Amino acid sequence: MHTLTDRLAGRAAVVTGAGSGIGRATALRLAAEGAAVTALDVVPASLESLAAEAAADAAAYGGRVRTAPVDIADEGSVVEAVGAAVAAHGRLDALVNAAAIHYGDHTHATTLERWNRILTVNLTGTFLVTREALPALLESPHGGVVVNFSSTSAFFAHPYMAAYSASKGAIMSFTHALALEYADRGLRAVSVVPGGVETPITGQTPANLPADVDWDKFAKLMPVLGRGTFGGPDDVAGVVAMLVSDDGRYVTGTEIRIDGGTHM
Ligand SMILES: NC(=O)c1ccc[n+]([C@@H]2O[C@H](COP(=O)([O-])OP(=O)(O)OC[C@H]3O[C@@H](n4cnc5c(N)ncnc54)[C@H](O)[C@@H]3O)[C@@H](O)[C@H]2O)c1
């Protein structure tokens, strides 16, 4: 990677879904640019490996990665984890809501339990973490920033993903409302819209699709950059770091699509 700046020095950030994939890359990227980061995830083992990775490269991360468990679908867990993060850092300047789950189903075969689970983790979880972080974000002298994770499935047809797509579309609407509601208090709220990024979620997608999946329906879902290969978590993490920094100071209430040109 090219030499990074310290444009986030003195900032504190919370990143959810930080044990894996894009959230993990984002937690490390924010720390590498100088932020003190609390990395939250529901899988303890993934947090242990993140902590070890950060500790192994003190030159890059400077001991700035703190890890803690959270289940964003559990209100009590979110209250405790976000409260502890704000207390540990003494402030909060940025929140990145990357945690999510994904299952594919025929819509006619989707159980209410599965529908509710996807909406609860992805959408309600994003709301709960944001709600708990807002009081501290609104105190940030830099202007607090919320970066939420939507998905190209919110804008373009992705088969078998009705619940997931609906959760990601709602996250975008939620983000718009936040951006206007708190703009006069210096807060910015932006959604990133990834697509075609190689992570455990995309790796597990084939196994999570119906047994009679029609692959022709995925014909329009391949990136054009990289000759059909997927991008990597760092391709998204760098954009999130820009949004969190002052380089993103004129960006709010909108979305940035990062999909290798899949949906041109
Ligand atoms: N990879 C892609 O191509 C792609 C495309 C569109 C959107 N996204 C979005 O990017 C974000 C990151 O996904 P990823 O691709 O890195 O997947 P990932 O599976 O690698 O990471 C998701 C993380 O969220 C965590 N998580 C799940 N449920 C949780 C809960 N209840 N509480 C706390 N943490 C929980 C998981 O443990 C995991 O570490 C997600 O919001 C995803 O929807 C990814």
Whether the pLDDT of residue 87 is over 80: the answer is: yes
Angle between helices 125-137 and 162-182 (to 10 degrees): 20
Q: Name the one residue in this structure whose structure tokens are 């983790």.
A: 121
pLDDT in tens, 15-65: 999 999 999 999 999 999 999 999 999 999 999 999 999 999 999 999 999
User: Measuring CA to CA, which residue among 186, 243, 246 is closest to residue 7?
Assistant: 246
**Which CATH number describes the domain made up of 12-258?**
3.40.50.720
Q: What is the pLDDT of residue 222?
A: 79
Q: Which residues contact 161 (CB under 8 A, 6 or more apart)?
A: 102, 104, 153
Whether the pLDDT of residue 228 is over 70: the answer is: no
Helix, strand, coil distribution of the chain in percent, nearest 5: 50, 15, 35
Ligand 1 contacts CB of residue 256 (under 6 A): no
Ligand 1 centroid to Cα of residue 200, in Å, is 8
Atom of ligand 1 nearest to the CA of 197: 3
Mean pLDDT, rounded, of the chain: 95
Residue 250 bears catalytic tag: no
Ligand 1 centroid to Cα of residue 177, in Å, is 23
Ligand 1 contacts CB of residue 67 (under 6 A): no
Q: What is the pLDDT of residue 227?
A: 63
Average pLDDT over residues 186-200: 96
Q: Lowest mean pLDDT: which of 119-128, 180-189, 199-208?
A: 199-208
Ligand 1 pocket: which of 201, 256, 259 to mutate (most atoms within 8 A of CB): 201
Rounded CA separation 134/32 (Å): 24
Average pLDDT over residues 158-175: 96
Ligand 1 contacts CB of residue 223 (under 6 A): no
Q: Kindly state the percentage of the chain with pLDDT values over 90.
A: 84
Ligand 1 pocket: which of 199, 230, 239, 255 to mutate (most atoms within 8 A of CB): 199
Q: What is the pLDDT of residue 99?
A: 98
Ligand 1 contacts CB of residue 196 (under 6 A): yes
Average pLDDT over residues 146-175: 96
